[in-house]
Structure 1
Amino acid sequence: MEPDLFTAAAEERQEKDPASSPLAVRMRPRTLDEVVGQQHLLKPGSPLRRLVGEGGGPAGASSVILWGPPGIGKTTLAYVVSKATDKRFVELSAITAGVKEVRAVIDGARRAAGGYGKETVLFLDEIHRFSKAQQDSLLPAVENRWVTLIAATTENPYFSVISPLLSRSLLLTLEPLTDDDLRALLQRALTENRGLGGAVTLPEDAEAHLLRIAGGDARRALTALEAAAGAAIDKGEPEITLATLEETVDRAAVTYDRDGDQHYDVASALIKSIRGSDVDAALHYLARMIEAGEDPRFIARRLMISASEDIGLADPHALPIAVAAAQAVAMIGFPEAALTLSHATIALALAPKSNAATTAIFAAQADVRNGLAGAVPPHLRDGHYKGAAKLGHAQGYVYPHDVPGGIAAQQYAPDTVHGKRYYEPTRYGAEARYADVVEKVRERLKGEGG
């Protein structure tokens, strides 16, 4: 493989004519100091600093796995490492590349190192999509340091990357970009010569909307900014108005403050719409939260609570659906997480409703707070120690599995609350079965019924 002539030519063209490249490419950090966010990885003496030879450490001493959600700078960090260490930069995607392409890069890296002393950084995006055999093909290059591997993944590497590769790499966890991180990046893009060079300004309302639609994705934010700036310049406007931004990105501004009252109002409306079985209203509020850039994990947590609070045993499948949605959301993130949240919201909204489990635990907690704890009946106490029998502990306990029907007529609750009924099931959905069962069980516990 020859030197990366196409990359070199692209960089030379960009230096001569900055406008020839997309804004997201032009604003790509050239050094670690220009990287926004990820401050936990950029402190003096950090592994990432040592990787590029700062602080007296050897440059490029390790291969790296970057783990984090999309659009937060994994490719950028790989590019910065290659520039800082003056290495060739080769990028592959695990979606389209296979073992053949990986071996070609490795062979080229060995020839480049031997022929003209140029080492190679191989950036492999979405490594979790590689099979075990494909990941195995990387091991010789990593072990012999024929390449500096920088692999990126949006999935937990402990589950998606083979152990031998993981143990030979430095694992760095990237955090989502904050609004302040993106705001700093946008201001830099607006003012620097390699960006828009002060051609337009961005008012606060337009900036707020741009941050919302970006959803923590720097690439998306810069792409939208570039398109809106172009439209404003074509109109002869000195600033990017909210109307121009909306027109350009084809998305209406969502009135929503993630840190203010509307955050709680919309979340409340979502849950109350689910409770009221209005699936269309629930989807509307879900869409508003998604479009406002709400954390999908927050939405998923609210759905899990709703499944127990408002549905309970009327549909025993509701909570597993909500939990599965939360797990999926944590793994995939936006934009695909919107599909999973929609799936769960629809299921919960259309499920039969019961708050019996909620009222039951609230009533039991109220009694405990009011001092109705009471002593545990002696026959239920622990009898697995010397002297327990002399105290009468565990004496007279009837083992339910030895009784026909598996229900022994004996007292379980303390005297203070014996006979109290906390769980009052409804006749909605699957809970109707529990309503029939609980009455029969209570009769058997009192020694009544057959």
Structure 2
Amino acid sequence: MNDLLTSIQAALGLPHTSIPFTSSGALPSAFAVTDLACASIGAAGQAVAELLRHQTGHVPAVEVDRRLASFWFSSSLRPMGWQVPPLWDPVAGDYATRDGWIRLHTNAAHHRAAAESVLGACADRAAMAAKVAQWASTDLEHAVVEAKGCAAEMRSWAQWQQHPQGLAVNAESLVHFLAAQDERSQAWQGSLAQPLAGLKVLDLTRVLAGPTASRFLAGLGADVLRIDSPTWNEPGVVPEMTLGKRCARLNLHDQADRAVFEGLLKDADILLHGYRADALEQLGFGVERRRQLAPGLIDVGLNAYGWSGPWQNRRGFDSLVQMSSGIAEAGQRWKQADKPTPLPVQALDHATGYLMAASALRLLTERLNTGRGGSARLSLARTAKLLVEHGPGTTQALRAEDEQDQCARLEQTPWGPAHRLQVPVEISGTPIQWALPATELGSRNPQWA
């Protein structure tokens, strides 16, 4: 556990102090998923403590609960009398090919259409399986990706270590910080109870990793505004991930909406984005333009497969990176299963989300000191390397969840009432709490509060 935390602390420039991890047990897995949950959440908590040390001279104590950290890596929401829609599209998943396995990610309608443009229309999994079985894994992965879809052949860790993209990821740091020269002098408006009060976070992220980061920042008092395109939806994760945020829609191909976005960006303190590496550049909002519009901006970017190498602009998700990087193959061997066995939770997403939040907090601490902005780059594939190299997991089970694990407060969401689990990290004097319940995408106007 400690070497995982130490690696993360080193990547973030945090002091090598130990963080107590309370309770026992772990998520059963080929890899140390619970250790990763505790270390990434703990580092985010420590980044808050370091911000407060810088501002107040006092360092709060940080503590992480292993059980709660494990549960939050799955979901924090406990609906009362209603159900969250399913996470996966009916034909998404793993399929046997002629020579191995492939995963198709079809949750978004245009990604399913891309897969079907290669394989033909498939009404259900059985139809899809019959068509996939005729292909070689490498050929089908290539064909679906060329069609602008999302697919990943199952590779072993050894194969990934020899793959050009695996080699590129190996050369990248867990968090790549870049200093900026442009300045924005702004006094700290926060407090011990709400360290990020008065800060504006513009959130251009989707699904799990980036939204985990913005959810954590919202819990510290930041004003988080999430922007989605007019057509995007992810019903299976919205109730979980929009906690504490206001959500609006903009079409960045539309001139009027672009002007609104520029206005929002000018006032933002922190920008979180999780598009493919070249996507914002193609929209005319590349690194230079963002700096021009918002001097002193803290710019934190996430990519699936890394920021260099032949796949740096490839579409990807946690489940695909697990297939590519050897995690699902190692899980299959660990469980002695007859099919790919991923991690029990989307741990790459959640861990990278907390690392993004911690990166933003480190850059913010620096900006309060020097006035200068900066950026950080992270990737799911690099987080995968951290997890794999940490070594095997454990089979020591967690005590089952009970009602004591839930907050007493009721969250009134658009779908119905719900409880949240207790927060897994304790920062003394700084309660992590959210002023706004989860909400529908596009339910607010694109403007700061």
The answer to whether the superposition gives a TM-score over 0.5 is: no
Q: Tell me which protein shows more strand as a share of its residues.
A: 2
> Which bin holds the TM-score, normalised by the shorter protein?
under 0.3
Q: Tell me which protein shows more helix as a share of its residues.
A: 1
Under a length normalisation based on structure 2, what TM-score does the superposition of the two structures give?
Answer: 0.24
Structure exhibiting the larger radius of gyration computed from Cα positions: 1
Give the structure, 1 or 2, with the largest relative contact order (CA under 8 Å, sep 6 or more): 2
Under a length normalisation based on structure 1, what TM-score does the superposition of the two structures give?
Answer: 0.24
